[in-house]
Structure 1
């Protein structure tokens, strides 16, 4: 009798598993991964699916087909013509080898090349936040902040206090944060800012990560724009652990950029688009405020930049396409830093093909996990790539969280997107693709310095790992498309 009941439960579970997985369109790898979860973990698997597997409702995704999007693009192009007169941006500002990358982004993300920006690179949290707070204190018109993580801790309070002061002075302050990434931070944390006229809302108005019941489709972007003149983009979030104050991670190694120039307008545009789908009751009117949020800028630098966004509202996976194009274009070397290495087949093939063609491919990952399954899957792919001649470095001096791709000392990408399925397809991301040998040389020097604090892992080193560790890596890899 008991066996019969169990058989019926298993049968019902399988029927619901098939219905659940196939009712939504997804790629084959993700489909099989979810069938494994739902079939081998009856009942419990559906709880996992509720958090990790469900897509954003079409009603929410529809918000991203904004009318504002086209208006914003035309505004940015008008501003660019006014300040740069950049009709020949493809031919005269980027070396021949990378013009196709510029065209790719113009086609897929409708983003123009922004010329002659000034960029400063930060790799330490304390230095970064000192500069951010200094810029906030000098703000005279607007401060827009968007982060995956905005914690209720020492640095979180420090930033919030400065925002409150500026809002009291009449500066327009808007904050977007992700409820999952900022878990533990109560909504009333931002009440002092709201009480003095500022705005702070969780992305897409999702006030509770638990009540929303969805782990995927998070706002993983990290954007700060001050007065429409200074912008920040990279891997750091707002939290004490990003300043090396958490014993678990120790020293936190990340990469972030401070940009001045017309590329800041593209960061501003993305923030406004994200704000307008998050708080539809207090939308920022682009037409009425274009001079306020998009002031005239005077470029003094040498860096040409494309700000590229991607997310589940588009099937193009623009940042992933950019990564693949960079790897394919590499003639001498392509060096990558990413805390998570879980590439899909297209990215995996690009890396393997480049390595087997004699390109010096190096990938630096952490020596410690922050998410067990994700880390074991990262180790699995690191081992597989080492087989084809990819040099794998485990960063030993704390936790490396940088998302950097560097090619031939000519072009580099820094932003929020990791080298994994989640950043490619499931989260909202933003990266700066920079065409500048000077910036590329700085990032090259930073990478070389990081290698001094890293261990090179060969395929033979991976092969010596215990059978139990290898099993965990292979097992975790089965769920790669949904990690």
Structure 2
């Protein structure tokens, strides 16, 4: 009979062989992934036996990705008639759009048409918001004036002052006969009190949760979060950008202070692109699969002359569409590249594009917040910033509060604003949406605001970066290893 102390003496070796077997399972499951990501998980398993495999199941597996792609793929045919027409129109040599400058970027438009079915429109009017106060004032006003429908989708939705006020306005409109649909993420909306939505539901509004929590405020599915922030009103007005729903976005959180973000309001045909994206997510969450119940018509009069493509990416897309768009933008730059992001953790493709642009003489500037919401993300970001600074780029640490905007502008015509951070998680793990804008006036307004932000920032020079102490270097090195999951 084996005594208890004999079993204990054998247990470490059993665990060792079990852990080795689990490492081989990770390697097999990751055979179609980036080798760096698989190697990172194998390292985690080696350093933290067994527990590392549990973390992999929470953060690294992708069985949901395969399932979701199959479900979403059945709906994607709906846009093909529009995008195929535009692609064929461009291939025939005809001019798409009213601005000659746009023709210089036909390859970028084609990329988005072919990979994401992102149709191009050029009859749009754009208003830009850099602060929560003006954004929410405009949004609430548009909600109050809604006549037929209000569709709202946010990653974070809280039951605080602005969240409660927004719900109250939605209740009023639903009671008036306006159709209201609300979608929020299971993790981002975990602090939204369930009873706060009871009246809205009783009035007839459709409320859905994307990947709901099995246990309240606790969700094991940390990947594949719906990070989009979209609003569509009467199919005529659309909102897209970086603001969520919470008092901190109004600068009312003392820990964050002033909140600097970027969001846009759109009128024109591009609103249909925002609506199609909302419908796919809402139909998935509500288990509906046919977006054709919604009808759209081109606006009777032109709202403006800004060109827009709505680009989306996530676990349900075949390609990393937003990353590919950004890569194409950066590699096309001739004069300047400006990036504002709360998290700067690019993959090798984007990092090489940025460094190549900088070495080529393009004026590259990158801004991140000096006071982060996640310390590991800051240390990893500093590590990557050190590389691009060494290539000749400029780096700034925003110090007026917290900077949350996700903005990339190239030269004097191209800009993109949306929900995607400049990081690996936004490129491949989260559901994101960005507006790609072809407009020199919008580009200039964004650049002017960037120059104002520089006044409230500290420049991180190569000399400052190289003088950091050993502890910071260790933190950077460790955090960079975790880049694929931050």
Q: Is TM-score (shorter-chain normalized) higher than 0.5?
A: yes
Distance 1:211 1:447, change over 3 A: closer
Alignment partners' CA distance in 2, 1:272 and 1:442 = 31
Q: C-alpha displacement at 1:116, in angstroms?
A: 2.2
**2:187 and 2:212 in contact (8 A); partners too:** no
**Residue 394 (1) aligns with residue 400 (2):** no
Alignment partners' CA distance in 1, 2:138 and 2:41 = 44
Alignment partners' CA distance in 2, 1:404 and 1:239 = 21
Residue 264 (structure 2) aligns with: 257
Q: Secondary structure at the match of 2:73?
A: coil
Q: C-alpha displacement at 1:92, in angstroms?
A: 5.4
Residue 82 (structure 1) aligns with: none
Residue 26 (structure 2) aligns with: 20
| Aligned with 1:368 (options 368, 371, 387) | 371
Alignment partners' CA distance in 2, 1:16 and 1:288 = 47
Residue 407 (structure 1) aligns with: 410
Q: C-alpha displacement at 1:21, in angstroms?
A: 4.4
Distance 1:402 1:208, change over 3 A: farther
Alignment partners' CA distance in 2, 1:332 and 1:78 = 33
Q: How does 1:328-367 map to 2 (within 5 A)?
A: 328-367=331-370
Residue 382 (structure 2) aligns with: 379
Q: C-alpha displacement at 1:277, in angstroms?
A: 1.0
Q: C-alpha displacement at 1:4, in angstroms?
A: 4.8
Q: Secondary structure at the match of 2:295?
A: helix
Q: C-alpha displacement at 1:315, in angstroms?
A: 3.5
Residue 8 (structure 1) aligns with: 14
Alignment partners' CA distance in 2, 1:420 and 1:252 = 20
Q: Secondary structure at the match of 2:299?
A: coil
Q: C-alpha displacement at 1:119, in angstroms?
A: 0.3
**Residue 66 (1) aligns with residue 74 (2):** yes
| Aligned with 1:113 (options 99, 115, 120) | 120
Q: Secondary structure at the match of 1:167?
A: helix
Query: Is there any run of 5+ residues in structure 1 with no aligned partner, and where?
Result: 80-85
**1:262 and 1:297 in contact (8 A); partners too:** no
Residue 294 (structure 2) aligns with: 289
Q: How does 1:202-217 map to 2 (within 5 A)?
A: 202-205=209-212, 212-217=219-224
**2:150 and 2:179 in contact (8 A); partners too:** yes
Distance 1:342 1:3, change over 3 A: farther
Q: How does 1:88-103 map to 2 (within 5 A)?
A: 88-89=95-96, 93-103=100-110
**1:123 and 1:256 in contact (8 A); partners too:** yes
Alignment partners' CA distance in 2, 1:394 and 1:10 = 45
Write out the 4+ residue segments of structure 1 that deviate beyond 6 Å after TM superposition: 75-79
Distance 1:118 1:56, change over 3 A: farther
- Cα-to-partner distance string for 1:145-171 (whole Å, 9 max, x where unaligned): 111111111111111111111111111
Alignment partners' CA distance in 1, 2:108 and 2:79 = 22
**1:233 and 1:258 in contact (8 A); partners too:** yes
Aligned-residue CA RMSD in angstroms?
A: 2.3
The count of corresponding residues between Structure 1 and Structure 2 is 474
Alignment partners' CA distance in 1, 2:101 and 2:216 = 43
Residue 90 (structure 2) aligns with: none
**1:187 and 1:207 in contact (8 A); partners too:** no
Range 211-220 or range 383-392, more displaced: 211-220
Residue 450 (structure 2) aligns with: 447
| Aligned with 1:54 (options 61, 64, 68) | 61
Residue 160 (structure 2) aligns with: 153
Alignment partners' CA distance in 2, 1:228 and 1:93 = 28
Alignment partners' CA distance in 2, 1:446 and 1:211 = 38
Q: C-alpha displacement at 1:287, in angstroms?
A: 3.7
**Residue 435 (1) aligns with residue 443 (2):** no
Q: How does 1:160-175 map to 2 (within 5 A)?
A: 160-175=167-182
Alignment partners' CA distance in 2, 1:320 and 1:388 = 21
Q: C-alpha displacement at 1:131, in angstroms?
A: 0.6
Alignment partners' CA distance in 1, 2:434 and 2:262 = 12
Residue 83 (structure 1) aligns with: none
**Residue 240 (1) aligns with residue 247 (2):** yes
Distance 1:245 1:289, change over 3 A: same
Q: C-alpha displacement at 1:403, in angstroms?
A: 0.6
- Cα-to-partner distance string for 1:110-163 (whole Å, 9 max, x where unaligned): 112111210000000011001100000000100001111111111111111111
Distance 1:16 1:385, change over 3 A: same
TM-score under structure 1 normalisation?
0.93
Alignment partners' CA distance in 1, 2:410 and 2:82 = 32
Distance 1:66 1:210, change over 3 A: farther
Query: Is there any run of 5+ residues in structure 2 with no aligned partner, and where?
Result: 1-5, 87-92
